[in-house]
Amino acid sequence: MSDNTADKVKAIISDKLGVDIEKVKDEARFIDDFGADSLDTVDLVMALEEQFDIEISDKEGQEIQSVKDAIAFIKSKC
């Protein structure tokens, strides 16, 4: 997959967590760095499922805690 995937993932994170796109760095963690709560992360996982037309189990969703996790997970699935 191209970096296009990473850009799409970052755009969804920016939109769902209300964070400027420039701040969506690979190392950033949703809860610690973006102030997300448990509902935000569920909402984010749902948006990723919809955008990439995949299913993410609850267990897999709970392990996606950073921008890097999300990009790696989507690349592994698509």
Partner 1 sequence: MKRVVVTGLGMVCPLATNVEESWRRLINGESGIKKVKSFDVSDLACKIAGQVPSENVEQKSDSLFNPLDYVSAKDLNRMDAFIIYALAAATEAIKDSGIDNATDSEKERTGVIVGSGIGGLSVIYDTALTLKENGARRVSPFFIPSSLINLASGHISMTFGLKGPNHAVVTACATGTHAIGDAARIIQVGSADVMVAGGTEGSVCRIGIAGFSAARALSTSKNDTPEEASRPWDKSRDGFVMAEGSGILVLEELEHAKKRGAKIYGEVVGCGMSSDAYHITSPLPNGDGAYRSMREALRFAEVSSDQIDYINAHGTSTLPGDLGELRAVERIMDGKTTGSMSSTKSAIGHLLGAAGAVEAIFALMSIRDQVVPPTLNLHDPEETFIDLVPLKAKERTVKYALSNSFGFGGTNASILFKAF
E strand or H helix that includes residue 65: none
Active-site residue 43, yes or no? no
What does the alpha-carbon distance between residue 15 and residue 19 come to, in Å, rounded to a whole number?
A: 7
Residue selected from 2, 3, 4, 39 as contacting partner 1 according to rule CB under 8 A: 39
Asked if 77 contacts 5 with a C-beta cutoff of 8 angstroms, the reply is no
Q: Does 64 bind partner 1 (CB under 8 A)?
A: no
For residue 27, the minimal CB distance to partner 1 (Å) is: 21
Task: Tokens for 60, please give them.
Answer: 């897999």
Which parts of this chain interact with partner 1 (CB under 8 A)? 16-18, 39, 42-43, 46, 49-50, 55
